Amino acid sequence: MTPLGNTREEFWRRLCAGESGVGPIASFDASDFTTRFAAEVKDFNGEQLIGKKEARRMDAFAQYAFVAAREAIEDAKLPEDAELRKRVGVVLGTGIGGIQTFRTMSDRAHDLGTWARTSPFFIPMLMSNAAPAHISMANDLRGPIFATASACASANDAIATAYNLVANGDCVAMLTGGAEATITPLAMGGFCSMRAMSTRNDDPARACRPFDRERDGFVLAEGSGILLIEEAEHALARGARIYAEVLGYGQSADAYDIVAVDPNGDGVVLALERACASARIEPADVDYINAHGTSTPIGDPAESKAIERAFGEHAYRMGVSSTKSMTGHALGAAGGIEGVATVLSVARDIMPPTINYEFPDPECTLDYVPNVARRAPIRTALSNSFGFGGHNCVIVFGKMRGG
């Protein structure tokens, strides 16, 4: 569920075509803001897709997750077996949760002149764990269900947690990824005040330009990306279609600043090294990295240099692209959306491009798959996510061993 499309195949087709999902904000009047564009989900009607009654009890982030999870379950052909579903859970990342509900309910209380008539659904819609809860209830999933919140690393942390629950035998399968719907006046105002976003209002589609010398900030986005992670033998025994294997992950902290990126990239280096160690691979085994690549002046060179430090000379032999150049930055959902992209890269041997790459930056010296998707063998790929607070999480995906 993304600014590039509301199904997996539409998203993938437009991603590989190098299309931008960024445009002027349509959901509210943004004329007073220094940034007046974002990457919004389009043509989404929650009441039609979910049902009027249920949709009205979900914030937009939960609606996105609900519909994306349904597609994942249907694609995986998860058996409708009650005993099996006792061992299937849901862990999703979200950086902020139900901020659209917060806005709606606050405006309503202001108009009424009282807080006493706050909706009884306010808290259940606001809470970050609402998305996994609704998915669990709708699909009779009785394994562990919860949310992870680590800013823009939330979804990758969720995937790592889901991987552990399956690998340790606690669950047969887990739905995981992330969801976010923060394109609201309050969130836009906050990010504008931080001067964190691009102000290229005259050309929104070209505003997000990771690793390009002319980048001037990130582009706010929304959406959801959901994966079904299943124990390998169980998936093979039931004939499930397997796109890729989760090989491991690496997590670390910058221990540097609540919002600023450590320009030395020490925490990112640790996460990359730990990811390779967890997956039991050598740096030379990695063919592609779906970078965090947010298009910020400090963040992009810090990530690029960290990759150089972690991979040595091999860093210059692999593709490193940022799909945020097309989707924008969906905060807590980013790792889920990029996880889907990375898995499809492994399954289909295609590296999506970094679009809007025009002016090489001397501080960013890797192969960023500029502007055009590339066909290349991909046995192993990484998906990077880093968040405010210094959270770093890298997921390792690979072709199914023996496949």
From the candidates 171, 192, 208, 329, give the one annotated as an active-site residue. 329
What is the Cα–Cα distance from 306 to 200, expressed in whole angstroms? Answer: 28
User: Token pair of 279, please?
Assistant: 């997956």
Q: Are 185 and 25 within 8 A, CB to CB?
A: no
User: Token pair of 173, please?
Assistant: 């399968």
* Half-sphere exposure of residue 360: CA atoms within 13 angstroms, side-chain side: 7
CA angle at residue 154 from 187 to 191, to 5 degrees?
A: 20
What is the Cα–Cα distance from 131 to 238, expressed in whole angstroms? Answer: 28
The radius of gyration computed from the CA coordinates of the chain, to the nearest angstrom, equals 20
From the candidates 16, 208, 292, 364, give the one annotated as an active-site residue. 292
What does the buried/exposed string (b/e) look like for 302-325 if buried means 16 or more CB atoms within 10 Å of the residue's CB? bbbbbbbbbbeebbeebbbbbbbb
Which among 154, 117, 152, 114 has a CA at the least distance from the CA of 132? 154
What is the Cα–Cα distance from 149 to 292, expressed in whole angstroms? Answer: 17
* Terminal-residue alpha carbon distance, the chain: 29
The amino acid at residue 76 is A
Q: Is 152 a catalytic residue?
A: yes
From the candidates 152, 192, 276, 393, give the one annotated as an active-site residue. 152
> Could you say which DSSP state residue 256 is in?
S
Count H helices and E strands in the chain, helices first. Answer: 15, 13
Q: Is 391 a catalytic residue?
A: no
Active site residues: 152, 292, 329
